[in-house]
Structure 1
Amino acid sequence: MTDDNKSYLTTSRRSLLKATVLLALASTSIGTLVIPAPAKAAGKKVIIGAFADGGLTPFKQKIIPLAKEAGFDIDFLEDEYGVTLEKWFADAQNGAGQYDLYLLDDPWVPQFGAANVLEDLGAAGLGVDDKDWIGPLIDMGFWPPRSGPRVAAFKDATPTLICAPFIGDLQTLTYRNDVYTNGAPKTWDEVISKGRDGVASGKIKYPVVFRGVAGNSIVTSWYSIFLSFGGEFFDDKWNPTFNSEAGKAASDFFVGTMKQNAPAGVVEFDSDQEGAAILGGDAGAIIQYSGNALKSDDPAQSKVVGKLDFGVVPKQVKAVSQLGIFIAGVPKSAPNKANAIEFLKWYTSADTQAKVAEAGMIPVKRSAFGVAKPGNRLIPVALQQLDAGALPRPRMPEWAKVEELLGIELNKALQAGSGGGAAMDAAANEVKEYLAQAGYYQ
């Protein structure tokens, strides 16, 4: 999810949620007749914790009012991304009961799952077997995962749905339609070659832009290229395989060819800089999440409105992108647990999901992609990408540390402009040593 997200490993905190207490007061008067004031209808209270993200703006503006009409009283409590994991995990572990529902970043699901602090939504009747779910999205809500490697403590456990997909965010391609005049480029070679033609004609300054800062940023930009080259992150025993021949080829392309066709300072680029490059008209193509992609149509943010289109990510051997969705979990300590579960059933129903698509968010049910008037033109492209291929990051509680180790080595190679394959070998050794200490190879 979200190109704007930072590492959660921060110790800063903001104040806890504000408490609102509504008191019903009886009216009294002196006289022969006392007429009580009409009682205010009480909605079904649901306290939602969310991190601040532009992708949630349509939810706040358009879906919460619909929820109110459906009888829900929503407290929507936002905080900075960097403090939410720490705050919510403490709330869940301590049974504090300050939230009814967390809108998690999907890599956090394994951490909450391993701690056994979220409700079993399948047992609560959310419809695990509903064929309308987008398969890769509903799969991300299970702990342990239904496929792929599992951490040792959950090797034989039955997968349980502890989170429900909330917004189907994923990476897609944004490209200049006056440079790639035959539609979205299909391959990375086409991205580079036609992008160079665009530079030669004076339409753009460089073919591509991406994030190069060490850690989450560079790994996010690298990941779709890695997948498109056929890379796989781990084998079924958690041995690193991202340093396979495919992984090394992808990384050499990324730190070599991609860097040579990107801005000079790309090693220090984060989401703000890459966004400015594509929205300012300098870059020809970018892989990004939907929240940033949709800025393409906003004249207040884009200098090239009408010149940016969306497509499936380019392929080397396949066109696979990174999933990063908003996903909802109900803590076992939720004060209004039944309301939260009822809200999720309402929100993920086919009717509401159609409203979600009309509001401009990427839905999580397939039927909703067929609405007559989707709220933005990225929605049909998102379905094309989901069907072409989209994968989450590895489902492991220790992903943040693994990503950090990989991102450091990638950034070193990017600075050098070569050595992507060697960076993969170095990172694989570091990751394996770390996972061994964490007990992954018992």
Structure 2
Amino acid sequence: MTATKKTRQGFSRRKVLKGGASLAIGSTLMTSLIRTTPARAAGGKVIIGAFADGGLAPFKNKIIPLAKAEGGFDVEFLEDEYGVTLEKWFADAQNSAGQYDIYLLDDPWVPQFGAAEVLEDLGAAGLDGSDKDWIAPMFDMGYWPPQSGPRVKGFESADPKLICVPFVGDLQTLTYRNDVYGNAPPATWDELIAKGKEGVAAGKIKYPVVFRGVSGGPIIASWSPILLSFGGDYFDDKWNPIFNNEAGKAAADFFVGTMKANSAAGVVEFDSDQEGAAILGGDAGAIIQYSGNAIKSDDPAASKIVGKLDFGVVPKQVKAISQMGIFIAGVPKAAPNKANAIEFLKWYTSGATQAKLAEAGSIPVKRSGFAVEKPGNRLIPVALQQLDAGCLPRPRTPDWSKVEELIGIQLNKALQAGSGGGAAMDVAAGQVKDYLTQAGYYK
């Protein structure tokens, strides 16, 4: 998901499950009635809830009018601030309020809604994985419980249901200065730093790299592609923390040491606005960022160095893996226009519509969408290269917001000190283990 968002909010797994249980007890009859999806006549009203984000501009500007013209859908698009949408939509779903037909979720929220069992089974409604045109890593993010990897307590033996479908693709890629690194992106982190230093010495840039250092979600978004590229990960298949193993400690030491030493003086306090201003203003040589900020590179109103920024796959240490964060759509069981919503999603995720989304400038969720002759921005073919090189979602647990908070606090402390990344990961791993133990992960 685009890096223009602020720190994520979330609920504890205990709160999610408690809410889901009370919903199930209080609305059994309603659920049995609304799960029946009647046939839809041509067209119809669809109320979409979304958080304000630049990554949705092509959908709003080009696809909503197309939905009316091609399918007769009257789309009501309701935007709100990112920080309030999760709680607002979760309350809407729990209370069967019926204010929305589709939620455009941030993908880490899928487990929270899935655990509460408040979203429609879209696979049963005909949006299933039989269409091999789906980008598989994106499509898999819509299942609860997940089809592979560790599962949280209470869902070990449950059959996965498709409760969300990918809506707009988004993932991290590299943005770099072509007058510093040449026509090819730096292949490794060492090359990124070394050539960036040459650019500083030549007076072309002020520092080689910039990133988000703010504690919590922002710093984790910047550290994740380094952790993954060093061969690390967050958990094993039993939810034991492994981000403090040899690879994780090396990634943390590199991040708080070498990366900080080659970045802006105030990077510890940088969030997406500051890192975006640094690369678009010409100060930084390279940045790992989501598409919402990356596509500003060619906008003269946003960038002072149009023509000097190119895109590439993230640098590698042992791998070239970035973090994926997509817009993903779920239909609440109490949706007032549920049949319309499902038909709209079928139309929207068709290969033909996804091709038009790519032409409008957004990353599609179908592989055929990447094959359009004239994609709407230069990032789209690079995004496919990154998907094929490697791109992973955040761990599929309702407790991810708390986990990234705990890790982010310790990583930020080490970043302030400019050293001690490995030791910080040991502290964070202990805290995460304690938290997940209390949440019942190991019983």
The bucket for the TM-score relative to the shorter chain is over 0.9
Whole-angstrom CA distance in 1 between matches of 2:300 and 2:157: 53
Whole-angstrom CA distance in 2 between matches of 1:273 and 1:349: 37
Partner residue, 1:317: 318
Preserved CA contact (<8 Å) 1:346 1:352: yes
- Cα 1:236–1:364 change in 2 (3 A) is same
Partner residue, 2:37: none
The aligned runs of 1:154-165 (5 Å cut-off) are 154-165=155-166
Preserved CA contact (<8 Å) 2:43 2:340: no
Which one-letter code corresponds to 1:136 in the other structure? Answer: P
Partner residue, 2:150: 149
Residue 10 of structure 1 and its aligned partner are, at CA, apart by 8.9
Larger radius of gyration: 1
Partner residue, 2:246: 245
* Structure with higher helix content: 2
After superposition, the C-alpha distances for 1:5-51 in whole angstroms (9 at most, x for unaligned) are 2234399xxxxxxxxxxxxxxxxxxxxxxxxxxxxx99400000000
Partner residue, 1:58: 58
Residue 127 of structure 1 and its aligned partner are, at CA, apart by 2.9
Task: Give the TM-score normalised by structure 2.
Answer: 0.92
Partner residue, 1:404: 405
- Cα 1:132–1:42 change in 2 (3 A) is closer
Partner residue, 2:110: 109
Preserved CA contact (<8 Å) 1:8 1:83: no
Pair 1:264-2:265 in alignment: yes
Moved more, 121-130 or 281-290: 121-130
Partner residue, 2:6: 6
SS at match of 2:180: coil
Count of aligned pairs = 413
Preserved CA contact (<8 Å) 2:173 2:289: yes
Which one-letter code corresponds to 1:162 in the other structure? Answer: I
Pair 1:201-2:205 in alignment: no
Which one-letter code corresponds to 1:66 in the other structure? Answer: L
SS at match of 2:176: strand
Partner residue, 1:172: 173
The aligned runs of 1:204-223 (5 Å cut-off) are 204-223=205-224
Residue 130 of structure 1 and its aligned partner are, at CA, apart by 1.1
After superposition, the C-alpha distances for 1:253-295 in whole angstroms (9 at most, x for unaligned) are 0000000000111111111111111000010000000000011
Preserved CA contact (<8 Å) 1:10 1:82: no
Pair 1:67-2:67 in alignment: yes
Partner residue, 2:298: 297
Whole-angstrom CA distance in 2 between matches of 1:291 and 1:176: 18
SS at match of 1:179: helix
Whole-angstrom CA distance in 1 between matches of 2:393 and 2:8: 18
Which one-letter code corresponds to 2:5 in the other structure? Answer: N
Pair 1:228-2:234 in alignment: no
Whole-angstrom CA distance in 2 between matches of 1:251 and 1:105: 26
Gaps of 5+ in 1: 12-40
Which one-letter code corresponds to 2:115 in the other structure? Answer: A
After superposition, the C-alpha distances for 1:163-201 in whole angstroms (9 at most, x for unaligned) are 000011000000000000141110000000000000000
Whole-angstrom CA distance in 1 between matches of 2:224 and 2:236: 17
Which one-letter code corresponds to 1:192 in the other structure? Answer: I
Partner residue, 1:372: 373
Partner residue, 1:307: 308
Residue 102 of structure 1 and its aligned partner are, at CA, apart by 0.1
Q: Identity of aligned pairs, percent?
A: 80
Whole-angstrom CA distance in 2 between matches of 1:87 and 1:227: 33
Partner residue, 1:434: 435
Preserved CA contact (<8 Å) 2:313 2:320: yes
Preserved CA contact (<8 Å) 2:51 2:81: yes
Gaps of 5+ in 2: 12-40
SS at match of 2:115: helix
Whole-angstrom CA distance in 2 between matches of 1:8 and 1:413: 21
Q: What is the root-mean-square deviation of aligned Cα atoms in Å?
A: 1.2
Whole-angstrom CA distance in 2 between matches of 1:163 and 1:185: 36
Residue 128 of structure 1 and its aligned partner are, at CA, apart by 1.8
After superposition, the C-alpha distances for 1:190-249 in whole angstroms (9 at most, x for unaligned) are 000000000000000100000111011101110101100001110111000111100000
Preserved CA contact (<8 Å) 2:196 2:285: yes
Whole-angstrom CA distance in 2 between matches of 1:382 and 1:194: 24
Whole-angstrom CA distance in 2 between matches of 1:101 and 1:327: 10
Moved more, 126-135 or 188-197: 126-135
Preserved CA contact (<8 Å) 2:213 2:269: yes
Partner residue, 2:255: 254
Which one-letter code corresponds to 2:213 in the other structure? Answer: G
SS at match of 2:205: coil
Preserved CA contact (<8 Å) 1:357 1:369: yes
Partner residue, 1:91: 92
Which one-letter code corresponds to 2:252 in the other structure? Answer: S
SS at match of 2:128: coil
Pair 1:392-2:393 in alignment: yes
SS at match of 2:181: coil
Whole-angstrom CA distance in 1 between matches of 2:316 and 2:398: 30
SS at match of 1:153: coil
SS at match of 2:179: coil
Whole-angstrom CA distance in 1 between matches of 2:359 and 2:7: 32
Preserved CA contact (<8 Å) 2:7 2:218: no
Partner residue, 1:326: 327
Task: Give the TM-score normalised by structure 1.
Answer: 0.92
